[in-house]
Structure 1
């Protein structure tokens, strides 16, 4: 995901309401998220759908890696040799 450009990618809620389609176009073209503020505080982020999907996939991968690392640290992992044998057996069956 592209970083937010503080000069271009921060809009108040009232400004956002008045130009929704132009902000959607901006987010789609730049691939940068738009920070929407209310009373000077960030309240929402508008992002491109593909960028959101990529971010979600990356988060899911990190969660899977964390889960796997925890399982290994708890002694619940299996060796590469055993994993390979299991895969080869399932292919033959």
Structure 2
């Protein structure tokens, strides 16, 4: 996903209603999310499906890392040599 550009990617909801196809084209071409506003306040974020899927994948990885860090902090971790031994044993079976 490309970096958000304030002057191009914040648009009124009324413009979106009037030109949905051009908004979808812009999302696809720029790979940037777009913020829709109503009465000057953000009400929705639009993004390309591929960019959304990539964002979800990244979030899942970050959640797994966070969960692993919590486990290590609470003493639930397994030493590297032990983990390696378990993996190799599982592969041999």
Q: TM-score range by the shorter chain?
A: over 0.9
Q: Which runs of 5+ in 1 are unaligned?
A: none
Q: Distance in 1 between matches of 2:92 and 2:4?
A: 51
- TM-score w.r.t. length of structure 1: 0.95
Q: Distance in 1 between matches of 2:36 and 2:78?
A: 47
**What is the match of residue 6 of structure 1?**
6
Q: Distance in 1 between matches of 2:89 and 2:79?
A: 15
**What is the match of residue 23 of structure 1?**
23
- TM-score w.r.t. length of structure 2: 0.95
**What is the match of residue 80 of structure 1?**
80
Q: Distance in 2 between matches of 1:3 and 1:45?
A: 14
Which 4+ stretches in 1 moved above 4 angstroms? none
Q: Which runs of 5+ in 2 are unaligned?
A: none
Q: Distance in 2 between matches of 1:33 and 1:91?
A: 43
